[in-house]
Structure 1
Amino acid sequence: MITDARVLQPEFIPSEVKHRDAEVNTLSSVLRPLTDGVRADPAFLYGPSGTGKTCIAQFTVERLRQEVVDVNYQYVNCWEDYSRFKTLYTILDGINNTIDIHRQSTPKDVLLDRLKDYTGPPYVVILDEVDQLQDKSLLYDLYRVKDLTMLLIANKETEVFAEIDDRLTSRLTTATRIHFDHYSRSELTTILNDRVQWGLVPNIIDQERLNLIAAKAAGDARIAIGILRNAARHAHGNSLDEIPTDVIRDVVPETKSEIQQQTIDRLTDHQQTLYDIITDHGTIEPQALYDEYQERVTDPKTKRTVRNHLSKLEHYNLIGSEGNTKGRIYRALT
């Protein structure tokens, strides 16, 4: 039933993208200086999860490399590589410059100095989930690296710029902002049609059922593709020759739970602690939450940073909140 499992994975980058022409054209314009062998200004891609930010960033850079220009590029997931050392290591690894770097003993300054000495073609670094960086000053250091172009990706602009100093703010004010909205139901159906064509045997799902998947995904392509993937697996496992409606409905909770667990698994220690406290209490007000958070960790962050963490947890539907700033209550979501 599944002829190419790759196209049903969230990290798959298609050879063509749908319903993001404006965003691709804007980012292509930003990157145009690379065709002259010089770095481009930073760009900032932001919007809800599942709206194609990561896909469009990688697609646009890959297309530029294939069509016209010699460019190196590296993708960094800052939720996984959130420390200064890990981020610099991954960036250097993209230009094969980590062979003698030891994760336990090499000083962080050595990594940055080595990156500053880079003399290859223009280098594009995609920093996904950039708000997860522990040390935002790294962005300032990367901005100063000759021939390095940064593409920053996050859910909200405020989550990135709330904790950076004036030096970096003044330099990133010129960064092109590219906003991504949720997909419409018809747009998601088109995306699903492509994935069916590329990855499944013909005639196993009709348009009505693809529309149902799109409706259940509520504008999130990651959820839509996940539902399609799990429905195909269930249908195959039960020796069915098509994907029926009841299977689609059955896998929706499973898919959303699967994606939620993947998000929980990626939480930083501080985010995990906040999530655990809220889950333990069911509901809790901000001051009580912060007080218990301070008791559970050895290096508590500021209230401002904690608020940003909580905003991140809310964005990914791990927690909810009610009320205004003074009367706010955080609650666990089951």
Structure 2
Amino acid sequence: MFHQHFLSTTGVDLGPLDAGERVLWQGRCAVAEYAFDEASSLPRWTLPEETEVVVTDRRVRYTYADDTTLSSGELFWLWPQHLRVQPGNRDTGRNATVTQIQLVCTGPDGSYPALVFAGGSVTSVGEADRLANVMRQAIARFRVENANEIGVPAVQSRMLSRLVIGPEFNNYVGGKGQTVNLLGAVPVPGPETAPVYAEATTSYDESGYDNHAYDDTVYEAEPVYEQPVSAVPTSAGMGYPGRPGAAADAIRAEQAMRAEQDSRYAEPDLASRAATLAARVASLLSDAPDNPDRGLLDGQSNNLSAYLNSRDQNR
């Protein structure tokens, strides 16, 4: 499945140019995107000869609007790797070819998306040469002036500066055409990939499996690598050993057993607490003096129920 690199979503207005951006050429011509790495490929999209094309010192923009649609796109001077003028011939019919300006870029996965301009204001070879010269100088000057930001080496920057002054395109009808290699090109970014999520599932109530009862709660999907074991749903009765989710149930059962054991250590049962309190009180009584005129212990009571009902004093 191919991807469109240089055409925006239908109806999107690219807005005004950036502050300080200079217009170098403006006209109308047909625009199309091709896959130059695919032999005899059809265009990925096309815009008619009425498309308005603007060449600036930073990019080329194109916009076509009619009564129902708005189509637009742009190609920044970071991306072109080759600039070619392919002149047409004098033949007619199937063998006829038109003059083209081709901006070939490097794309993801070894692809070579290209933007092609033809017809309209660049129908003749001379018009195509003049526009290609404007593009060549704009691309070279942009990369020389922004060499540090783009990461263009000094050797390539010196070679690019020669393209600002020449040589110029000079083609003729039926000729072989001319190509200029544009150093310092940045690959065209590929489409963004969406993260993979687990499918939303229905959480069943395990206590009601025997009578097929379940709740209708649907939990939001979460990334599969973040889903805890406790959130893994079961999908069959607990008595079915080969059912999906059996391993997760075993882990949950072990966790529940450990939690129950920890709670027993933290809170002893009533008999253990009663025996401990009885031994403690008996020890206190054995150390108390034998005085029938006062209680067993000053300020204390020998009623064990007071101790058994007070959880704070027994821990």
Q: TM-score, normalised by structure 1?
A: 0.20
Q: Which has the larger radius of gyration?
A: 2
Larger strand share, 1 or 2: 2
Q: Comparing both chains, which one has the higher relative contact order based on Cα–Cα distances under 8 Å and sequence gaps of 6 or more?
A: 1
